[in-house]
Amino acid sequence: MSDKTIDPLIPVEGWHVLHLFYKIEYSQWQLFSRDEQLRAETNLSTLVQDIRATPNTQLLLLGIVSPKADLGFMLLTPDLHTANLFEKRLTQALGPDVCTSIFSYLSMTERSEYTTTEADFIESLGKEKAPGSPEFESALGDFRARTSKYLKDRLYPNLPDWPVVCFYPMSKRRAEKNWYALPFEERKRLMGGHARVGRKWHGKILQLITGSMGLDDGEWGVTLFAHDTYDIKGIVYEMRFDPVSAEYADFGEFYIGLQLPLDELFRRLQL
């Protein structure tokens, strides 16, 4: 963890998220003796255990599909100092010059400003049930429970071990179609339709949206978890026809990874 003399940098809410993608420099790796290679693998294995033993910290190990990259990590942790320390250690874990950074992305878990507020729900509910009635109070209680779980899942997620992981950055357009020039109510209406498309994939896709305004080049990072690449392809394709994507979204590079245990990752990377 971070140096005990340095005060932690923990946000008011949410966690820091780092996506890290590397190429393995095999010519450098092959200069190591087999004993040196084994020590390097043990070093990374020990580091992974240390990171995963850190409170409120998660680390996913990814074998990247295609030569775009070889190795990927997804790190979630509250303290920015801890994120910085672990990122440097992960980069050097297999030895100097073995891992070359191809792409990285810093973001934070965040709540959505477009979710239904309690005031919105009460106004809508009041049209169907008498305020103060047992039915009204029961429905309101259910709403509060759902909202509490939703916020916890957004801000402090427990990431699944689903095998397929897709990551891409995205931003909203400011040119001809300027998302930020739209009134809030119009943006909320559009995002409501966008969310309805996403809900069709419930149980097949788990999505984590993280905010990166002021932290990285894009505005959001999108991480999709699935059991089947068909579903990754399907949800991204269907979303393309929704106005939020079709008219207002710009996308960065896509990275597809497979969650693997470390011993299999070493075999996959031929280390």
| Contact by Cβ (8 Å): 155, 13 | yes
Q: Choose, from 22, 105, 168, 248, the residue flagged as catalytic.
A: 168
Do 99 and 137 share a domain, yes or no?
Answer: no
> Is residue 141 one of the residues assigned to a domain?
yes
- Which pLDDT score, from 0 to 100, does residue 42 have? 97
Confidence of residue 17 (pLDDT cuts 50, 70, 90): very high
> Is residue 178 one of the residues assigned to a domain?
no
Do 127 and 58 share a domain, yes or no?
Answer: no
* pTM of the predicted model as reported, rounded to 2 decimal places: 0.91
Do 93 and 144 share a domain, yes or no?
Answer: no
> Is residue 259 one of the residues assigned to a domain?
no
- Which pLDDT score, from 0 to 100, does residue 101 have? 97
Number of domains in the chain: 2
Do 87 and 140 share a domain, yes or no?
Answer: no
| Contact by Cβ (8 Å): 25, 98 | yes
Distance CA 161, CA 259 (A): 7
Helix axes 184-199, 229-240, angle to 10 degrees: 150
Do 23 and 88 share a domain, yes or no?
Answer: yes
Indicate whether 29 pLDDT > 80.
yes
Indicate whether 28 pLDDT > 90.
yes
The range of the structural domain enclosing residue 54 comes to 16-109
> Is residue 21 one of the residues assigned to a domain?
yes
Q: Percentage of the chain surpassing pLDDT 70?
A: 99
- Which pLDDT score, from 0 to 100, does residue 123 have? 79
> Is residue 79 one of the residues assigned to a domain?
yes
Indicate whether 2 pLDDT > 80.
no
Distance CA 58, CA 161 (A): 11
Do 56 and 79 share a domain, yes or no?
Answer: yes
| Contact by Cβ (8 Å): 183, 237 | no
> Is residue 47 one of the residues assigned to a domain?
yes
Distance CA 128, CA 25 (A): 64
Token pair 């990590």 in the structure block, residue? 73
Distance CA 164, CA 185 (A): 35
Do 123 and 137 share a domain, yes or no?
Answer: yes
Catalytic residue status for 26: no
Q: What is the mean pLDDT of residues 247-251?
A: 93
* pLDDT tens-digit readout, 126-162: 888 888 888 888 888 888 888 888 889 899 999 999 9
